[in-house]
Structure 1
């Protein structure tokens, strides 16, 4: 038998080598094509999910102006505030709910439109902090930093004067990753994470979760009022130092199914519970002080600002958008949008 020549062996090895290279290239091209297909699919699904959450925002705006446009009372028993929306769509699901943004404490109101301190709101927010600190209401660590009100005040006021327990630029510039105090209104609740000595437990207590809504808002409108028909007990207790757990519960029950018809009805309920003895000089002075204090805080029984949380899941992609809507009569405008959770 004729032996195989060296040339034939080299040719065979070369052919095998070329075949291996072609196979590797083909597999790589197939993998790359599959990756491109999946990437394109994800992009299409993301865009589709984003359009769905925008549609949910539009739907919420429509719901907010249904019925009487001159209605002045908003309460928790209204259908749009108590009923979330969930629906299956082709390729996934969409869901969403509406919350009253003015049920929360307006921390930007610690200053006025000129960035100057508003003592009544600072005192109210301090009561809110004290309330959350008492009784381990924010977890096992004992609640909020007792100086939190002044920390927030220094973050949003326009000056560089440090309040007691507060922090201005020098405190933040000395951090490992330095930055400055905003010295302007907060744009998002997430800014709280940047504040001095605000720990994750405090932050989580502020922003709530799927079951418990946030306790504060960062609406950039210094005329925004607290809706006493939707505010939780924690916020109601911040209104006056003598509103304790018991009185707060009475105020919640006093709403009934349709809420207080006006702020005077709400204040009357507080007066009944405080029961000032006007024949006693000290209590008479407390009564006068109460009336003056109430004039400095903006309270309402209706709402202008609503928060819409919408989630769409299409294929492997999920998009969550939080929108702040402002209702003015029969007109609704989008003030702010953010993607993801707080």
Structure 2
């Protein structure tokens, strides 16, 4: 092979290398451009979804304001409780639902009396844990988490000794998902308990029209699930007053575990949920709304579904662990 042939071979290799580098550069630029486009699109869709969520929040607030002057009790059949059917919007669809938080057990009612709690709620929570087949020691764990006198001293040592150490709050729950941090509350326990509990300002009353059957059972002495189902009326309970509810108990041979003054048929706290799908991407928004005589106000906003609850429930269904009692607390 002469010198000219070698030079041609080198030139060919250099040309191939230049072409390869050019292809790599162009591919990188295209990839970066697509990434930037996707990032921009996602940002715009996120902002668009947030705007829709605020609109749904306003819609929910108007429904609550419309019922503000009514003497009708709050039930699952109330106008505000009716879901908004799917509505088509540019690029996707939106829907909304409203949940009455007055029908769930307020964990912050277990706080010390100095923080607005009431010891009368502890037997109810004990009963609720029993109705859900959960460890009864969880009640003490929740109370200790809420107690500013106990949490920083006795409880702190237990939490700091865990593989992932952290300190207990020592005050009211800021959000119901905080329950997942309490000793003994694993994913399966949370999945069972979360549908029946919430985190509201201490001192709230329980709406017997929107309470679940296990929670109604927890309110009563010696009540069976069948009795609770009868009072729940398949979710269609419509008691005109707490006294009317209490009047049904004598014929069922059960009594209340709490003073009648802790029960109600009207609610002050609601959770509005907006489900938005844009370009096939789902967005979920929540707004906690307080309704009072002065109108309504939004107390907090959050984004994203409760994945811990959804995943745990799905795992339990697949594994057939509906009768699991969860982790024990010591």
**TM-score (normalised: structure 2):** 0.82
The 1-side partners of 2:170 and 2:85 are apart by 39
Structure 1 segment 88-127 matched on structure 2, within 5 A: 88-112=88-112, 114-115=114-115, 118-127=118-127
The 2-side partners of 1:254 and 1:19 are apart by 72
Matched, 1:217 2:198: yes
Summarize the Cα distance change of 1:294–1:8 in structure 2 as closer, same or farther, 3 Å threshold: same
Residue 17 of structure 2 is matched in structure 1 by: 17
Matched, 1:294 2:273: no
The 1-side partners of 2:274 and 2:236 are apart by 29
Structure 1 segment 195-214 matched on structure 2, within 5 A: 195-207=182-194, 214=195
Residue 149 of structure 1 is matched in structure 2 by: 139
Summarize the Cα distance change of 1:27–1:156 in structure 2 as closer, same or farther, 3 Å threshold: same
Q: Higher Cα Rg: structure 1 or 2? A: 1
Residue 42 of structure 1 is matched in structure 2 by: 42
The 2-side partners of 1:320 and 1:254 are apart by 28
Matched, 1:332 2:291: no
CA deviation after TM superposition for structure 1 residue 25, in Å? 1.6
- Give the secondary structure class of the aligned counterpart of 2:227: helix
Matched, 1:227 2:207: yes
The 2-side partners of 1:300 and 1:159 are apart by 31
**Could you give the per-residue CA deviations for residues 145-183 of structure 1, whole angstroms, max 9, x where no partner exists?**
121111111111122279xxxx71111111011111111
CA deviation after TM superposition for structure 1 residue 256, in Å? 6.6
CA deviation after TM superposition for structure 1 residue 113, in Å? 6.0
Structure 1 segment 162-201 matched on structure 2, within 5 A: 168-201=155-188
CA deviation after TM superposition for structure 1 residue 129, in Å? 0.9
- Give the secondary structure class of the aligned counterpart of 2:131: helix
- The unaligned stretches of length 5 or more in structure 2 are 307-330
RMSD over equivalenced CA pairs, Å: 2.8
Residue 246 of structure 2 is matched in structure 1 by: 267
The 2-side partners of 1:254 and 1:29 are apart by 60
Structure 1 segment 70-81 matched on structure 2, within 5 A: 70-81=70-81
- Give the secondary structure class of the aligned counterpart of 1:38: helix
Contact 1:106 1:216 in 2 (8 A): yes
Summarize the Cα distance change of 1:86–1:127 in structure 2 as closer, same or farther, 3 Å threshold: same
Aligned mate of 1:248, from 228, 238, 246: 228
- Give the secondary structure class of the aligned counterpart of 1:170: helix
- The unaligned stretches of length 5 or more in structure 1 are 134-143, 208-213, 276-286
**Could you give the per-residue CA deviations for residues 79-102 of structure 1, whole angstroms, max 9, x where no partner exists?**
331434322222111122111111
Residue 317 of structure 2 is matched in structure 1 by: none
- Give the secondary structure class of the aligned counterpart of 1:85: strand
Matched, 1:321 2:285: yes
**Could you give the per-residue CA deviations for residues 124-152 of structure 1, whole angstroms, max 9, x where no partner exists?**
1111111211xxxxxxxxxx112111111
Summarize the Cα distance change of 1:47–1:255 in structure 2 as closer, same or farther, 3 Å threshold: closer
Residues 50-59 or 121-130, more deviating: 50-59
The 1-side partners of 2:296 and 2:116 are apart by 30
How many pairs align? 304
**TM-score (normalised: structure 1):** 0.80
Matched, 1:305 2:269: yes
